[in-house]
Amino acid sequence: MSRPSASGVMVLGGGLMGLAIAHQLARRGRSVLVISRRRSEAAGFVAAGMLAPHAEGLRGELLGLGQRSLELVPSWLQQVEADSDLDCGHRPCGIVVPFRSEHERDAFPTAGCGVALDRPELEREIPGIATGWSTGLLFEQDGQIDNRRRLMRALERACSRLGVQFEEGAEVQSLQADGHGALQEVSLRRADGELQQLPCQQAVLCSGAWSAQLLPELPVFPVKGQMLSLQAPRQALRRVLFGPGTYLVPREDGLLVVGATSEVDAGFSEGLTPEGQKQLEAGIAALLPEASQWPPMERWWGFRPCTPDEGPLLGASPMDGLWLACGHHRNGVLLAAITAALLAGAITQETPSSADAALLGAFAWNRFNRGDQPSTRQP
């Protein structure tokens, strides 16, 4: 295993966030080592890939963070595609959120950012939508990325081509600080079982739902999500359909990604459950009845990294030299671009804009202790 140089950085986690940050650091000339345990568990591999700050109904600082990231997505993906020679699967297809009444629609937190649809317009946008939905909002600025099949593969190749080193199948055991509270060493167990102590002065903690196992001060906990996919007729659905509790995300080739359960009390319990799959199937029938007849392709599950206010932890940590990029909950794909830019800039000591400095302050790890956590969602 090649170790990063004295000016290098260890990235603790090889999921979407870790790869995005490693890529940006490598583009800035830093040597990077990514420590990755089981990438298939990472939220970036199991997510639906929506870019949906408006359709999600985000608010406050989290909406601002999401909008800023959405602005960065095209240029960020251009860099990834240029460095990998692979397409990232970006589709600015727009997202429709259905409602049962105009009152419900107008009370939606981001209603002012969308185009109101009456029932005939809703049927034109989503042919076959269930009869119970009388109105909707179209957010044309929102969209999706095919994260599982394209983005993750492109990021992996881009990182490799820029010289990023990978330690696959390794699990970080602990982080050691020196007498002044600065990061000094990372202990890990390699895939062959060997224990190693690696000197390290700079690292990024992006271990998703497992981040608090390495730094217990962090209020990060898992929220399990189950998903499935169907094979739809090609072009059966042009827009993403984002209903209450269930969303349908159509890929370009007709694959329809359906999600997702939100199991706060499941902890790290692995596997699919009959209850979770029934919930998804009921959600499909309530939104688009004909989709219940489309053949199932795949079923899977994963763990979202959540915080008490559902916003991420970004920037400095309680340990000098250790940086945070975790707790993105269900917005990891959306927030990857801004997270990678903020963290790579901070680590390489670029002077942030006043707006970026404000974002790092709003999503600091200790905001819960200060009592000033950002507003994120409609209660």
Structure tokens at 369: 């202790």
Structure tokens at 153: 């593969």
Whether 125 and 194 map to the same domain: the answer is: no
Among 214, 308, 218, 228, residue whose Cα is nearest residue 264: 308
Residue range of the domain that includes 234 = 92-143+221-303
Beta strands at 9-12 and 203-205: parallel, antiparallel or unpaired = parallel
Whether 160 and 57 map to the same domain: the answer is: yes
pLDDT number for residue 69? 98
Structure tokens at 66: 């999401």
150-187 per-position pLDDT tens digit: 999 999 999 999 999 999 999 999 999 999 999 999 99
- The secondary structure element, H or E, covering residue 33 is strand 32-36
Whether 240 and 113 map to the same domain: the answer is: yes
With 0.85 as the threshold, say if the pTM is over it.
yes
Structural domain contains residue 178: yes
Query: Distance between CA 87 and CA 150 in Å, rounded?
Result: 7
Give me the amino acid identity at 270: E
Surface-to-core class of residue 247, CB atoms within 10 Å of its CB (0-12 exposed, 13-18 middle, 19+ buried):
buried
pLDDT number for residue 6? 53
| CATH (domain of 169) | 3.50.50.60
Low-confidence ranges of the chain (pLDDT < 70): 1-7, 39-45, 370-379
| Domain boundary residue, one of 303, 328, 353 | 303
Whether 125 and 233 map to the same domain: the answer is: yes
